[in-house]
Amino acid sequence: MGCCASVLSRNVDDQPHNQEHISQTATRDTSDRSTQSRQRTRRPNLPLNEHYNEPVRNHVWRSKRRTWTRAQLDRERAEFFETRVTGRPEIWAAVSTVVSLIRSGDLNTAQGIIDAAGITVPTGDLCEGCYDEQGVLYKLPQCVVSDPENMVPSSSRAGSEDSGPVGYEEEEQDSGTLSDGKLATDDASGDELISQDVERRREEKGKTSERDLIRVRARLSDRGGPDILISIGKGQTVGFLARKVHQEAKLKNDRRVRIAYLGHLLNEREPLVDQGWKTGHVVNALVVSPVHDLGLKPRS
């Protein structure tokens, strides 16, 4: 009995020591795994004058809110780069070339331009932003960087947007302008302008009531002044306002106007007052170049 009691006593006395040893071992293992995990995710230590940079890559995406055609994408890309007002122009020019090269699959040349221009792309995806040497952020929407996987072939959209040239958004379908609901077009310039026939039909239909008119002061980007004062109906679209500004400013047919207010481009399909415009405020009329001036293919 004495021997059994002695052995049992030693086993009981050893248990706290064994548990402490196991606990310390488990703690060390957990600590080692955490350290290894941090080492794997930590970016390499770089000098302060260098920035973390990943090789540029193509952005893959699918459109969920709308369908895109080749002509629509070309139009959006042209207008995006034409209307940049922040950042350095030479950086935007480099980025424009880079995204074109990425879309064509020439990643090596695109990376060379990125490096030569001193542009940093932390994730390699231009949609997530890139920086110039001063640390200024440049962000691009998906439709500018790459084509969506579910892009609609132009042939399947015959008779819709792709059948007409790049230009102003159409006014309401009940405007009674032309039988097919489209404005007169200028195929050579790719712009959609108001023709004399359209103006005549509008006059025949009747003028807007005076109480429904608003007076809009537009400041053109291609000149120092004077501003242009335009009268339009409250329910008429921003696209209609843009065409009126184009006429009053006597712009060339190979130019078009985009309306901006408080730093934002307005939707051409909606009325001005529905987009936050207040009576007496000045809108910016951005005079932009045709698509082919940017080296993009004109609409077919």
Amino acid 188: pLDDT = 31
- In sequence order, the 6+-apart residues with CB closer than 8 A to the CB of 75 are 166, 291, 299
Can you tell me the distance from the alpha carbon of 62 to that of 64, in angstroms, rounded to the nearest whole number? 6
Can you tell me the distance from the alpha carbon of 258 to that of 245, in angstroms, rounded to the nearest whole number? 10
Residue 66 phi, psi dihedral angles, 5° rounding? -155, 170
Domain 49-163 sits in CATH at: 1.20.225.20
Question: Angle at which helices 89-104 and 107-116 pack, to 10 degrees?
Answer: 170
Would you state the structure tokens that stand for residue 62, as one six-digit string? 């699918």
Residue owning tokens 């973390």: 52
Amino acid 178: pLDDT = 30
- In sequence order, the 6+-apart residues with CB closer than 8 A to the CB of 88 are 132, 136
* DSSP state letter for 289: -
Going along the chain, which residue ranges are E strands?
Answer: 130-131, 137-138, 185-186, 191-192, 213-220, 228-233, 256-261, 264-265, 282-288
- In sequence order, the 6+-apart residues with CB closer than 8 A to the CB of 214 are 231, 232, 233, 234, 272, 273, 279
Decide: helix, strand or coil at residue 99: helix
- In sequence order, the 6+-apart residues with CB closer than 8 A to the CB of 240 are 171, 232
Residue owning tokens 């995406």: 61
Can you tell me the distance from the alpha carbon of 56 to that of 165, in angstroms, rounded to the nearest whole number? 33
Amino acid 255: pLDDT = 84
Q: For residue 219, give the amino acid letter.
A: R
How is the chain split into domains, by residue range? 49-163, 176-291
Classified by CATH at the fold level, domain 176-291 comes out as Ubiquitin-like (UB roll) (3.10.20)
Can you tell me the distance from the alpha carbon of 37 to that of 56, in angstroms, rounded to the nearest whole number? 26
Per-residue pLDDT of the chain (300 residues), as tens digits, is: 455 444 444 444 455 555 554 455 545 554 454 444 444 434 445 444 555 789 999 999 998 888 899 988 998 898 888 878 788 999 999 999 999 999 999 999 999 999 999 999 999 999 999 999 999 999 999 999 999 999 988 655 433 343 333 444 433 333 333 333 333 333 333 333 333 344 444 444 445 566 778 999 999 888 877 888 999 988 888 989 999 999 898 888 878 888 998 888 898 889 999 999 998 899 999 988 754 334 433 333
